[in-house]
Amino acid sequence: MAERPATKGVERLFLPDFCDVRTVFAVVVLSELLAVVLVLAPPRVPADPWSDLSLVSLFIQWVALAGAASLCALRSRLARLGDTRAGWVSYGVLLAVTLAVSEAAFRLLQWKGLHYGGVHETHGAFVLRNLLIAAIISAVVLRYLYVQHQWRRNVQAEARARLQALQSRIRPHFLFNSMNTIAGLTREHPELAEEAVEDLADLFRAGLADSRRQVGLGEEIEMARRYLRIEALRLGDRLRVDWRIGDLPLDLPVPPLILQPLFENAVYHGIEPCAEGGEIRVEGRREGGAVVFVLRNPVPDAAPQRREGHRMALENIRQRLALAYGDEGALTVRSTGGVFEVRMRLPGAPPAGAPAGRAGGGAP
**Residues 226 and 331 reside in one and the same domain:** yes
**Residues 341 and 203 reside in one and the same domain:** yes
**Residues 36 and 159 reside in one and the same domain:** yes
Tell me the mean pLDDT in the region 287-304. 81
| Half-sphere CA count of 322, side-chain side, radius 13 A | 10
**Residues 125 and 194 reside in one and the same domain:** no
Assess contact for 261 and 235: CB atoms under 8 A: no
Q: How confident is the model at residue 162 (pLDDT cuts 50, 70, 90)?
A: low
Domain-embedded: residue 82: yes
User: What local confidence, expressed as pLDDT, does residue 98 receive?
Assistant: 92
Domain boundary among 133, 168, 203: 168
**Residues 220 and 318 reside in one and the same domain:** yes
Rounded to 5°, angle at Cα 276 from 274 and 282: 75
User: What local confidence, expressed as pLDDT, does residue 358 receive?
Assistant: 46
Domain boundary among 106, 139, 168: 168
Higher pLDDT, residue 53 or 362: 53
**Residues 176 and 307 reside in one and the same domain:** yes
Q: Maximum Cα–Cα distance for the chain, whole Å?
A: 102
3-state SS assignment for residue 285: strand
Higher pLDDT, residue 212 or 110: 110
pLDDT of residue 6 exceeding 50, the answer is no
**Residues 71 and 118 reside in one and the same domain:** yes
**Residues 266 and 200 reside in one and the same domain:** yes
Least confident residue range of 201-210, 268-277, 280-289, 316-325 = 201-210
Cut 0.85: pTM above it: no
**Residues 186 and 214 reside in one and the same domain:** yes
Domain-embedded: residue 316: yes
Domain-embedded: residue 364: no
User: What local confidence, expressed as pLDDT, does residue 322 receive?
Assistant: 83
Domain-embedded: residue 357: no
User: What local confidence, expressed as pLDDT, does residue 197 receive?
Assistant: 83
Domain-embedded: residue 310: yes
**Residues 201 and 109 reside in one and the same domain:** no
Domain boundary among 149, 168, 187: 168
- The CATH number of residue 340's host domain is 3.30.565.10
Higher pLDDT, residue 188 or 238: 238
3-state SS assignment for residue 265: helix
**CA-closest candidate to residue 67, choices 91, 46, 43, 47:** 91
pLDDT of residue 9 exceeding 60, the answer is no
Q: How far apart are CA 359 and CA 270, in angstroms?
A: 25
Domain-embedded: residue 304: yes
- C-alpha torsion angle, residues 133, 134, 140, 141 (rounded to 10): 140
Domain holding 210, by residue range, is 172-347
**Residues 37 and 98 reside in one and the same domain:** yes
Q: How confident is the model at residue 343 (pLDDT cuts 50, 70, 90)?
A: very high
User: What local confidence, expressed as pLDDT, does residue 210 receive?
Assistant: 58
Question: What's the whole-number average pLDDT of the chain?
Answer: 79
Pairing label, strands 290-298, 330-336: unpaired
User: What local confidence, expressed as pLDDT, does residue 323 receive?
Assistant: 78
**Residues 54 and 202 reside in one and the same domain:** no
Domain-embedded: residue 318: yes
Q: How confident is the model at residue 280 (pLDDT cuts 50, 70, 90)?
A: very high
Tally of structural domains, the chain: 2
